[in-house]
């Protein structure tokens, strides 16, 4: 059995130890390292290439959002789960814009984090049920032209909403990066969407995403 390789980041040693024990107890998961700050997480993610990084949002120095952006830029195949106490829409938007594939609240049950790790490792986007409603409730965009998406435009947008980087989508579809960007731009324009948050909001409302 191939296990999901997980890297843990949190500035509290007790929390890191707890997360390590929780994740390592699952037969299909393994912890490959830990960090107390975002800078170390960025460096080690590039070296270890884990499948999933569990990222504390509030850390001194390089915070979770900046670390996520840098990891996604350097290692697009690494999926990031934001682990946070913040439930407001502003934090959710910031982390989704940064490129997280999962958003889990620290007050959630341990099983929710395990479920999130498995979901994002499988290419899905996981939103904690306590915040998922905020994404659906907000308007998705101004409406766009109202034209129907082509099959390829929808496939590209589904993959991007699920957390894949443009280069990954291009490789999966065996097309050029520029082609993916064109499909993305056309699809977003048709739907009246401007940002990744808008796209995820639309994807949740349409039932494209699972796991949260």
Q: Is the pLDDT of residue 51 over 80?
A: yes
Domain that holds residue 174: 151-206
Calculate mean pLDDT across residues 9-13. 93
Q: Is the pTM of this model over 0.85?
A: no
| CATH code for the domain in which residue 167 is found | 1.10.10.10
Q: Is the pLDDT of residue 16 over 70?
A: yes
Same domain, 131 and 38: yes
In sequence order, what DSSP letters do the residues of 26-63 get, joined into one string?
A: STTEEEEEEESSHHHHHHHHHHH--SEEEEES--SSS-
Same domain, 133 and 156: no
Q: Is the pLDDT of residue 146 over 70?
A: no
Pick the last residue of a domain from 109, 137, 165. Answer: 137
The residue to which tokens 């909403």 are assigned: 161
- Please give the tally of structural domains in the chain: 2
Q: Answer yes or no: are the C-beta atoms of 78 and 52 closer than 8 Å.
A: yes
Calculate mean pLDDT across residues 168-193. 90
Q: Is the pLDDT of residue 37 over 90?
A: yes
Domain assignment of residue 143, yes or no? no
Same domain, 180 and 107: no
Same domain, 34 and 131: yes
Calculate mean pLDDT across residues 71-90. 88
Same domain, 126 and 162: no
Give the pLDDT of residue 211: 46
pLDDT-based confidence at residue 147 (cuts at 50, 70, 90):
low
Same domain, 114 and 69: yes
Q: What is the dihedral of CA 202, 65, 156, 77, to 10 degrees?
A: -140
How do residues 173-182 score in pLDDT, each as one tens digit?
A: 999 999 999 9
């Amino acid at each position: 059995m191939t296990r999901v390789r997980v890297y843990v980041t949190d500035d509290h040693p007790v929390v890191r130890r707890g997360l390590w024990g929780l994740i390592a107890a699952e037969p299909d998961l393994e912890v490959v390292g830990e960090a107390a700050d975002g800078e170390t997480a960025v460096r080690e993610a590039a070296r270890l290439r884990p499948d999933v990084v569990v990222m504390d949002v509030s850390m001194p120095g390089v915070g979770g959002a900046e670390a996520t952006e840098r990891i996604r830029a350097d290692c697009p195949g690494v999926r990031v789960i934001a682990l946070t106490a913040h439930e407001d829409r502003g934090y959710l938007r910031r982390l989704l814009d940064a490129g997280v594939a999962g958003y889990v609240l620290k007050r959630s049950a341990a099983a929710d984090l395990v479920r999130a790790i498995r979901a994002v490792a499988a290419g899905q986007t996981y939103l904690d049920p306590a915040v998922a409603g905020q994404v659906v409730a907000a308007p998705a965009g101004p409406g766009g032209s109202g034209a129907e998406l082509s099959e390829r435009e929808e496939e590209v947008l589904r993959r991007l909403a699920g957390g894949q980087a443009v280069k990954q989508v291009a490789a999966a579809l065996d097309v050029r990066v520029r082609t993916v960007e064109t499909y993305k731009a056309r699809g977003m324009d048709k739907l009246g969407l401007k940002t990744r948050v808008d796209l995820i909001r639309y994807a949740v409302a349409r039932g494209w995403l699972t796991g949260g």
